[in-house]
Amino acid sequence: MIKVTNLSKTFISHTKEPGLKGSLKALIKREKKSKLALKSVDLEIQQGEIIGLIGANGAGKTTLVKILSGIVHPTSGEATVLGFKPWERHNEYRRQMSLIMGQKAQVWWDLPAMDSFILLKEIYQIPEKIFTDNVEFLAETLMVKNHLTTQVRKLSLGERMKIELMAALLHRPKVIFLDEPTIGLDLSAQRAVREFIKSYQKEFKPITILTSHYMEDIKELCPRIVIMKEGEFVYDGTLSQIQRLLGEEKSLSVTTKEKKFTISVPRSELSKKTAELFSTNEVLDLNIQDPSIEDIIESIMRNGMTNR
């Protein structure tokens, strides 16, 4: 289980004015800037759960994943994963955890995947039989059997991602952090990766935290979502709950002579707002529908739950 209490993280960086003058000035004196990437967040995830962590760029998703995977230390607060403080980096914890980064290769670039797997087998102390079975199962499910002896750098992006997934799951982790696993993949590769994660989750029931900008990933894989905005959780619940909660709104797509735009209107004000639109604009087309989950989430990410 994952338990996070009052977790905060502040990053310190240096600022520099643009241009040559700024560069010269920075040689003598640099301005420090601190950014509160996580603001006292609380979270609990049970074994077997998969949650989708979503938010705009810089919302704090990756910072949370970095802390829970033990890469960075928090500034304050507590977090335990499987009973361990991740940043203490106990080998016993690291043997049960995996982090997959869509934008960062973890397998060795210049070697065939199988060479990396053999090294990982030793690092994670995976017994021979389990290792062979896992490689067989994962390679077959991900359809990469033919690529195991090719240098990783020579594989396509989709194939590389599948190899990364294999490498991360060889030791059957109990906790998996998936940081944008489908980024940059074409539609069929995205679907394949999603299907694989779904079947893996069903079979082995790890705790999985998925961050993704693709709503399709979230809709397909995560019954529970956590929406982050500027380092805080603005929503923690199920997808269906969010739709019910915000289902009191209608989405109006309007086309006038001058422009096209979409607005959200409370159901109770629908006729009033529509009349207002017709009286103030030369409306060419009007489409009234329930807002899509993407619209709702985008709106929450922009405005939070209360200011919508």
Partner 1 sequence: MNWWRFVVANEFRKILAFRSDFWVTFIGQTVVMVLIARALWQSIFEANGTEVMEGFTLPMMTLYYIIVPLANKIMTGENVGFLSREIYDGSFNRYLIYPISFFQYKILTYLTHSVFFSVQLILIFCVFNLIVGHGLSVELLINLFFGIFIFLCAACVYCMLAMSVELISLWADNVWSLMVMIRFFVFFFGGSYLPLDFFPSWANALLKFTPFPHLISLPIRTTMGLATTTEIVTGLGSLFVWGIIFTMTAKKMWAAGEHRYNGVGI
Binding residues vs partner 1 (CB under 8 A): 11, 62, 65-66, 69-73, 89, 91-92, 94-95, 97-99, 101, 103-106, 108, 110-111, 115-116, 118-120, 122-124, 151, 179
CB of 8 to partner 1, least distance (A): 14
The CA distance from 57 to 61, in Å, is 8
Q: Which is nearer to partner 1, 120 or 225 (CB)?
A: 120
> Distance of alpha carbon 156 from its chain centroid, rounded?
22
Q: Which is nearer to partner 1, 184 or 247 (CB)?
A: 184
**19 burial class (0-12, 13-18, 19+ CB within 10 angstroms)?**
exposed
139 membership: H or E segment, kind and range:
helix 128-142
Structure token digits, residue 33? 């800037």
CB of 213 to partner 1, least distance (A): 14
Do residues 45 and 139 make contact, with C-beta atoms less than 8 angstroms apart?
no
CB of 86 to partner 1, least distance (A): 10
Residue closest to 118 by CA, chosen among 160, 149, 153: 149
Structure token digits, residue 109? 């670039």
DSSP 269: G
Q: Which is nearer to partner 1, 116 or 141 (CB)?
A: 116
CB of 276 to partner 1, least distance (A): 47
Q: Which is nearer to partner 1, 86 or 291 (CB)?
A: 86
The alpha helices in the chain, defined as continuous H runs, are 19-28, 61-68, 91-94, 113-123, 128-142, 157-169, 187-204, 215-221, 239-245, 270-280, 293-303
Paired strand residues for 250:
265
The CA distance from 85 to 68, in Å, is 8
Max intra-chain CA distance, the chain: 75
CB of 119 to partner 1, least distance (A): 5
Residue closest to 207 by CA, chosen among 175, 161, 248, 173: 175
CB of 104 to partner 1, least distance (A): 6
Question: Could you give the C-alpha distances from 139 to 117, 123, 196, in angstroms and in order?
Answer: 12, 20, 11
CB of 81 to partner 1, least distance (A): 13
Q: Which is nearer to partner 1, 88 or 282 (CB)?
A: 88
Structure token digits, residue 122? 């030793």
Q: Which is nearer to partner 1, 53 or 242 (CB)?
A: 53
Q: Which is nearer to partner 1, 74 or 291 (CB)?
A: 74
Q: Which is nearer to partner 1, 71 or 283 (CB)?
A: 71
CB of 173 to partner 1, least distance (A): 10
What is the β-pairing status of strands 175-179 and 97-101?
A: parallel
Please, how many CA atoms are within 13 Å of residue 281, restricted to the half-sphere of its CB? 18
